[in-house]
Amino acid sequence: MDAKDILGLPKNSVTQEKKSRPQKDSQRKPDGISREVYALTGGLAPLIPAIEASQLKKRPPSDEKITWQWLPFTNSARKDNLHLYHWVRIVNGVPPTGDYSFAKYNKMWTKEETDQLFELCQSFDLRFIVIADRFPSSRTVEELKDRYYSVARAMLIARAPSPGDISGHPLVKEPYNVSQETERKRALSMVLSQTKQQERKDAEVLAEAKRITESRMVARGAEESELPVPSNAGPESAERAAAIPADTVSPSSNVQQHPSAAVAPSTITVDNASILASLRMLRVYLRTYALDQMVQAASSSAGLRTIKRVEQTLQELGVNLKPRVPTKAVCAEHLELRREILTLLNLQKQLQYKEAEGSSYRDGSYADTPGTPKHLSHGGDQDRTFVPDMSFAGERMGKRDQKRKAPGRLSEAPLPAHKRPRKSKAADL
Amino acid sequence: MINSSSSKQVGQDQPATSEPKSQRTKIKMVKSEDSDKRMLNKKLKDVEISIPIVYGNVSFWLGKKASEYQSHKWTVYVRGATNEDIGVVIKRAVFQLHSSFKNPTRVVESPPFELSEAGWGEFEIAITLYFHSDLCDKPLTLYHHLKLYPEDESGPMSSKKPVVVECFDEIAFPEPSEGFLVRVQNHPAVNVPRLHTGFTLPPPVPFEDANRKKRGDTKDHPLSQWFMNFSEADELLQLAAARQQVQAHLAKLRRQISMIDGQHQQLKTISDS
């Protein structure tokens, strides 16, 4: 007010503006909550309200009587004649007429539309892409195809003298599947629009997945045939394993040479062959990389502990875990050595099991055959003299076994000695 | 009219007959060239060639001249394992250094494929080898950890004796083109396996005069006195000895197993009776 006095402005015009502005100001100020909090909700409401507050208040028309009734309704879009109930707004006792309001969203085919479709199909020789272009209402190619094929199928079935006559017709046997087709085309367009990088990544992932499934299958095959690897197959596998690396390029010939051998050795060659094949796919590779792949493949059927034991054995033998001069020949020898150590460890385990069986036999037949334990213990002594000669693997095996439940070789000897005095006691009794 | 036409024909006869002949021979020549090209581009199966290489670094402590940020002078390199010229196979080598170096991507376009620098830190260097286009268009990357400081930290550092770390490997090309084989047959840097009998390569093009070309081998390289020795024979011997031991033990185990199997059999028959 002072400012206007100073400026010497007429009061009337200004006061009008001021009136509208305070109104707007009061509208701006949010009631009940602070301005900052109100701002968080999205800020000020638009200056011109979409809904007039005054209108909200004076809504119910005086001449109309509004009631709400719980009434049944049907949906023309449904084919099953389902009756549901909902609240209906009744004006002056007159319920609304007309179909269910959402029925119009159903993609209905009128006879007119269908006739148009068939005309176009006739004139354009079932070229649906052209037909879709010329179709009056916008329908997708898949929708048109679906309509055409389902109508044609229905007509075929209806006109056929007996269902058996047309059961061989392709339209009847394999009806058009809209959802499948839409999905297929969508997937195809996605593949088509892949960038080169995505393509490469996909190819890499697929190759990796293939390798993993292959190695898993081999592992399963090796597992299944691991137990029945009998000792008579042992020497064959060792010989063949030695024969392989000299000719790594033609593994198939090796498989042919020993058709009677156990399954496990041949699965090793199959795995090697797949590694070699994948290596050949690379235009260039490093020898150390190739060796790494083959070592991984060879140990894929073995557990982590076994792999550690192989490495321990290599170290005890004074062999580098990774060859210092990895030429083709050296890598082949290294791989063979690893395989032989793996066989060695497996055989040692076998021997353990057999000796455990043996001790249970001895316990059972002890009373009947007093002579036999002595005989067996001699065998046990023989074993023990072998072990110190081979400083690696064997002795270590025995030591570890003592901790385990299954009796190892070294724990055998005390058994008969322990029992012999008892025997005499029993005899005395 | 007939006469004139026939005379025309006769007139044209001589050049007409000679032309087709030369054309025919021309066509024949082009054909054989094409087949030669196709043969040279042909990839051979079951003929894998390999190039033995050694890569690593030599590092000298700068001694009195050492500063905080430049304490060592080092050279990272890729050389033929027998110091032959690998430029016959490798077109260029790219050394990717630590980002703290200026222009960390160093390209070496000709042998010897090496790079010298001064610094204080040890880091991984990626060495990407690009091959000649007739051999392979895909590059291969080696990784080498630069070593400046000796393993034995207790000893005094010497500026005379360098720290050397080298690594042996072989680059394998499973399906080289015949054209490449022709180029490198009998080259000392490349291992070419004996080809199947009945398979002959076309005669090789004689090598360029060595004097005209800059020598790419590292036989007289200034650092060659520090190069390590990699003996395939030694390692093969070691592996053979180890295999012998394992095989002997395997045989013993099998005997033991069969013995126990026999004993179990005996026990079983005794207990059954």
Please give the pLDDT value at position A183. Answer: 94
Q: Please say if the pLDDT value at position A380 is more than 60.
A: no
Q: Given B48, B239, B257, which is nearest A330 (Cβ)?
A: B239
Chain A hits for B263, CB-CB cut-off 8 Å, are 358, 375-376, 379
Q: What is the average per-residue pLDDT within A173-187?
A: 92
CA-to-CA dists, residue B110 to A16, B90, B171, angstroms = 89, 8, 18
Please give the pLDDT value at position A61. Answer: 67
* Side-chain half-sphere CA neighbours of B58 within 13 A: 20
Please give the pLDDT value at position A226. Answer: 56
Q: Please say if the pLDDT value at position B25 is more than 70.
A: no
Q: Given B172, B236, B263, which is nearest A285 (Cβ)?
A: B172
B246–chain A Cβ distance below 8 A for any pair: yes
Please give the pLDDT value at position A327. Answer: 94
Are B260 and A354 inside 8 Å of each other by CB?
yes
Please give the pLDDT value at position A201. Answer: 86
A295–chain B Cβ distance below 8 A for any pair: no
Q: Which residues contact A324 (CB under 8 A, 6 or more apart)?
A: B168, B230, B235
Chain A: closest CA distance from residue B58 (Å): 18
- pLDDT class of A16 with cuts at 50, 70, 90: very low
Chain A: closest CA distance from residue B230 (Å): 6
- Compare A383 and A67 and report the one with higher pLDDT: A67
Please give the pLDDT value at position A232. Answer: 45
Min mean pLDDT across A196-210, A397-411, B68-82 is at: A397-411
Q: DSSP string covering A263-331, please?
A: HHHHHHHHHHHHHHHHHHHSSSEEHHHHHHHHHHHHTTTS-HHHHHHHHHHHHHTT--SS-SS--HHHH
Q: Given B142, B239, B259, which is nearest A379 (Cβ)?
A: B259
Please give the pLDDT value at position B264. Answer: 80
Chain B hits for A328, CB-CB cut-off 8 Å, are 50, 170, 172
- Compare B140 and B68 and report the one with higher pLDDT: B140
Tokens 């007409």 locate to B16
Task: Count A/B contacts: CB-CB distance under 8 Å.
Answer: 154
Q: Please say if the pLDDT value at position B207 is more than 90.
A: no
Query: Which residues 174-203 on chain B approach chain A with CB closer than 8 angstroms?
Result: 174-175
Chain B hits for A376, CB-CB cut-off 8 Å, are 263
Chain B hits for A329, CB-CB cut-off 8 Å, are 232, 236
Please give the pLDDT value at position A191. Answer: 86
Q: Please say if the pLDDT value at position B239 is more than 80.
A: yes
Query: Three-class SS of residue A384?
Result: helix
Highest mean predicted confidence (pLDDT) among A90-94, A382-386, B145-149 = B145-149
Q: Given B169, B171, B254, which is nearest A235 (Cβ)?
A: B254
Beta bridge pairs of residue B126:
B96, B143
Mean residue pLDDT of chain B comes to 81
A329–chain B Cβ distance below 8 A for any pair: yes
A334–chain B Cβ distance below 8 A for any pair: yes
The rounded distance, in Å, linking the Cα atoms of A318 and A310 is 13
Please give the pLDDT value at position A11. Answer: 61
Please give the pLDDT value at position B148. Answer: 93
In a mutational test of the A interface, the residue from B134, B249, B252, B265 whose CB has the highest number of chain A CBs within 10 Å is B249
Q: What is the percent of chain A where pLDDT is above 70?
A: 63
CA-to-CA dists, residue A404 to A399, A408, B243, B263, angstroms = 9, 8, 30, 24
The rounded distance, in Å, linking the Cα atoms of A388 and A413 is 16
Please give the pLDDT value at position A114. Answer: 93
Tokens 């073995």 locate to A302
- Compare A84 and A261 and report the one with higher pLDDT: A84
Are B263 and A330 inside 8 Å of each other by CB?
no
Q: Is the dihedral of CA A298, A301, A304, A305 positive or negative?
A: negative
Chain A hits for B259, CB-CB cut-off 8 Å, are 379
Mean residue pLDDT of chain A comes to 73
Chain A: closest CA distance from residue B38 (Å): 19
- Compare B140 and B47 and report the one with higher pLDDT: B140
Chain A hits for B174, CB-CB cut-off 8 Å, are 279-280, 282-283, 285
Q: Given B232, B249, B254, which is nearest A234 (Cβ)?
A: B254
Q: Given A287, A343, A393, which is nearest B169 (Cβ)?
A: A287
Min mean pLDDT across A80-89, A417-426, B113-122 is at: A417-426
Chain B hits for A383, CB-CB cut-off 8 Å, are 256
Beta bridge pairs of residue A217:
none
B52–chain A Cβ distance below 8 A for any pair: yes
A351–chain B Cβ distance below 8 A for any pair: yes
Q: Which residues contact B63 (CB under 8 A, 6 or more apart)?
A: B157, B159
In a mutational test of the A interface, the residue from B238, B252, B270 whose CB has the highest number of chain A CBs within 10 Å is B238
Q: What is the average per-residue pLDDT within A330-344?
A: 94
Please give the pLDDT value at position A396. Answer: 46
Strand B163-173's sheet: what is its strand order?
A285-286, B163-173, B49-61, B72-80, B113-119
Cis link prior to A22 (omega < 30° from 0)? no
Give ∠ CA A181-A183-A184 in degrees, rounded to 5.
65
Closest by CA position to B226, among listed B53, B58, B36? B58
Q: Which residues contact A259 (CB under 8 A, 6 or more apart)?
A: none
Q: How many CB atoms lie within 10 A of CB A91?
A: 12
Q: Please say if the pLDDT value at position A364 is more than 90.
A: no
Please give the pLDDT value at position B12. Answer: 43
Beta bridge pairs of residue B113:
B78
Q: What is the average per-residue pLDDT within A171-192?
A: 91
Q: What is the average per-residue pLDDT within A384-393?
A: 41
Q: Please say if the pLDDT value at position A253 is more than 80.
A: no
The rounded distance, in Å, linking the Cα atoms of A361 and A349 is 18
Start-to-end C-alpha separation, chain A: 131
Please give the pLDDT value at position A321. Answer: 93
Q: Please say if the pLDDT value at position A185 is more than 80.
A: yes
Please give the pLDDT value at position B165. Answer: 95
- pLDDT class of B43 with cuts at 50, 70, 90: low
Query: Which residues 251-270 on chain B approach chain A with CB closer than 8 angstroms?
Result: 252-254, 256-261, 263-264, 267-268, 270
- Compare B23 and B93 and report the one with higher pLDDT: B93
